[in-house]
Chain A
Amino acid sequence: MTEIHTHAPDDHESAYDGLLVNDAHWAFGTDFEDPLAGVDTTVPDGVDAPALATYCLMLGDDALVLSQRLSEWCSRAPDLEEDIALANISLDLLGQARLLLARAAAADPSVVPALPEGSPVPAEDALAFFREADGFRNVRLVEVPNGDFAETVARLLLFSTWRLALFERLARSRDAVLAAVAAKGVKELSYHRDFAARWFVTLAGGTEESRRRLLAAVDGLMPLWPELFATHDVEREVAGATVGVDPAEVAGEADAVLDQVLAIARVQRPERPALAGIRGRTGRDGLHTEALSRLLAEMQVVARAHPRGRW
Chain B
Amino acid sequence: MAAVATRARAVAETVTDPELPMLTLADLGVLREVSVDEDGGVEVAITPTYSGCPAMATMRDDLVHRLQDAGFDDVRVRVALHPAWTTDWISERGRAALAEAGISAPGTAPVRSGPVPLTLGPVRRDVTCPRCGSTEVDLTSEFGSTACKALYRCRACLEPFDHVKEI
Are B79 and A88 in contact (CB-based, < 8 A)? no
What interface size band does chain B fall in? 35 or more
Enumerate B52-79 residues with CB–CB distance to A below 8 Å: 52-54, 56-57, 60, 64-65, 67-69, 71, 73-79
Are A191 and B74 in contact (CB-based, < 8 A)? no
Q: Does B11 contact A (CB under 8 A)?
A: no
Enumerate A163-194 residues with CB–CB distance to B below 8 Å: 164-165, 168, 176-177, 179-181, 183-188, 190-191, 193-194
Are B76 and A38 in contact (CB-based, < 8 A)? yes
Which of B13-21, B80-88, B126-134 is found at the contact surface with chain A? Answer: B80-88
- C-beta contact mask, A82-120 vs B, less than 8 Å → 1, else 0? 001100110111111011000000000000000000000
Known: A30-B57, A96-B51, A176-B82. A85 touches B141 (CB 8 A): yes
Q: Does B118 contact A (CB under 8 A)?
A: yes
Select which of B51, B71, B78 is within 8 A of A37 by beta carbon: B78
Q: Does B96 contact A (CB under 8 A)?
A: no
Are B68 and A18 in contact (CB-based, < 8 A)? yes
Q: Does A257 contact B (CB under 8 A)?
A: yes
Which of B1-9, B23-31, B100-108, B142-150 is found at the contact surface with chain A? Answer: B142-150
Are B143 and A184 in contact (CB-based, < 8 A)? no
Residues of B within 8 A of A180 (CB): 81-84
Give chain B nearest CB distance to A193 CB in angstroms: 7
Known: A9-B69, A88-B143. A197 touches B118 (CB 8 A): yes
Give chain A nearest CB distance to B161 CB in angstroms: 15
- C-beta contact mask, B126-167 vs A, less than 8 Å → 1, else 0? 000000000000001111110100010000000000000101
Are A257 and B118 in contact (CB-based, < 8 A)? yes
Residues of B within 8 A of A176 (CB): 82
Q: Does A35 contact B (CB under 8 A)?
A: yes
Select which of A39, A98, A186, A264 is within 8 A of B116 by beta carbon: A186
Residue of B nearest to A11 (CB): B73
Residue of A nearest to B109 (CB): A187
Residues of B within 8 A of A88 (CB): 143, 147
Known: A187-B167, A264-B120. A177 touches B81 (CB 8 A): yes
Residues of A within 8 A of B54 (CB): 30, 91
Q: Does A3 contact B (CB under 8 A)?
A: yes
Select which of A4, A21, A30, A39 is within 8 A of B76 by beta carbon: A4
Q: Does A51 contact B (CB under 8 A)?
A: no
How far, in whole Å, are A265 and B138 apart by their CA atoms in the complex? 24
Are B79 and A3 in contact (CB-based, < 8 A)? no
Select which of A2, A6, A39, A81 is within 8 A of B68 by beta carbon: A6
B residues with a Cβ closer than 8 A to A are: 43, 45, 48, 50-54, 56-57, 60, 64-65, 67-69, 71, 73-85, 115-116, 118-120, 123, 140-145, 147, 151, 165, 167
- Some 27 contacts from A to B, beta carbons below 8 A apart, are A4-B60, A6-B64, A6-B67, A6-B68, A8-B68, A18-B68, A21-B64, A30-B54, A35-B79, A38-B77, A38-B78, A39-B80, A39-B81, A92-B50, A98-B51, A99-B51, A168-B115, A179-B82, A180-B81, A181-B81, A183-B83, A183-B84, A193-B116, A194-B120, A195-B142, A195-B143, A260-B118
